[in-house]
Amino acid sequence: MKQPRVGLTLHQRQKYKGVWFILPWFAGFLLLFLVPLINSLRYSFSTLKVNDNGFSIQSVGWANFKNALFQDEHYVRTLTESMANMAINVPLIVIFSLFAAVLLNQKFKGRGLVRAIFFLPVILASGVIAAVENGDYTQGIIKSASQTSSGEFALFRNLELAKLLLNSGVNYQIVQYLVGAVNRIYQIITASGVQILIFVAGLQSISGSLYEASKIEGATGYESFWKITFPMISPLILTNVVYSIIDNLLTSPTTQQIRDTAFKSYQFGLSAAMAWIYFVVISLFLWLITMLISRKVFYHD
């Protein structure tokens, strides 16, 4: 007698859905990125010379990596600055995105328009505005402004808030971080559109019955946020942290230096070595951050 066929469990169905979800990306990786990735690794151990017949490859071992780390006068410093800026920007972006998402999740008139306004910087940053922002003209203005406003806090050296905090005994590093956050407000808002969208979607998926039960029990809005909202949305915090790190580093000065080394200096082997060093540093940092945050993430079954 044949045994009745047992259907897939919920956990198995969810795993198959995950496989189908990443299948387009995996196919694109195999077709479009795998071969260039392998060639890039091969070029990092070689010297490429362009000639009339195309280009020739000559193996040089680890020379390109030694050049990038110990001989190039800009690469290590630029990489360090990129990582430092990322460490400052990512927490600000995630905190601002969560704060904005909580506000946008409230019920008020014109909510759809306000959400569109908050997401508008993402659309603008992908087009002509981004080209102008990254152009020499804007960089020249920013550089000129920085040179004419030297001091502890650059443009915000006369900010009354900074003076008040310092006079109140607040640590200098904390004050500098807060003033730096104000100085980076345009960059933070521009980079927060996708994160806000993800947080809003996560907030809308939280069951309203949880808030109703907490209200009946006498919980305040503050308590509801830390006991319900924050734990339920913690997986998305991890997602947005990883996304923000990658998005921030892809547009960093290190990426620009790698591009210039390849297509302006025509040092393709050195550029490939720089790119692989950058890849390893980002991978290690992402692994560390993911491991630390995952311990605090709450997954609701």
* Domain locations in the chain as residue ranges: 59-294
Question: Which pLDDT score is estimated for 160?
Answer: 65
* Beta-carbon-side half-sphere exposure of residue 53 (alpha carbons within 13 Å): 2
Radius of gyration of the chain (CA): 24
Question: Which pLDDT score is estimated for 144?
Answer: 47
Count of H-run helices and E-run strands, the chain: 16, 2
Give every CB contact of residue 208 below 8 A, 6+ residues apart in sequence: none
SS3 assignment for 227-241: HHHHHHHHHHHHHHH
User: How do the pLDDT tens digits run along the chain, 301 residues long?
Assistant: 555 555 677 777 878 888 888 899 899 999 998 998 998 898 899 887 777 776 778 888 899 999 999 988 889 999 998 888 888 888 889 998 998 888 888 887 877 787 777 777 666 655 445 555 555 444 444 444 444 444 444 444 435 667 776 777 777 777 777 776 667 777 787 788 888 888 988 888 888 888 888 888 888 888 888 888 888 898 899 999 999 988 888 788 898 889 888 888 888 889 999 999 999 999 999 999 989 888 888 776 6
Contacts 24+ apart (CB under 8 A), 185-188: 187/89, 188/89, 188/92, 188/93, 188/96
C-alpha closest to that of 210 among 235, 237, 229: 229
For tokens 């759809």, the residue is 112
Question: Which pLDDT score is estimated for 152?
Answer: 45
- Reading the block at residue 35, the tokens are 């071969």
CA distance 266 to 261: 6
Give the CATH fold of the 59-294 domain.
MetI-like fold (1.10.3720)
Global pTM value: 0.74
- Side chain identity, residue 149: S
Question: Which pLDDT score is estimated for 6?
Answer: 57
- Reading the block at residue 17, the tokens are 């859905």
Cα–chain-centroid distance for residue 119?
Answer: 16
**Pairing relation of β-strands 46-51 and 54-59?**
antiparallel
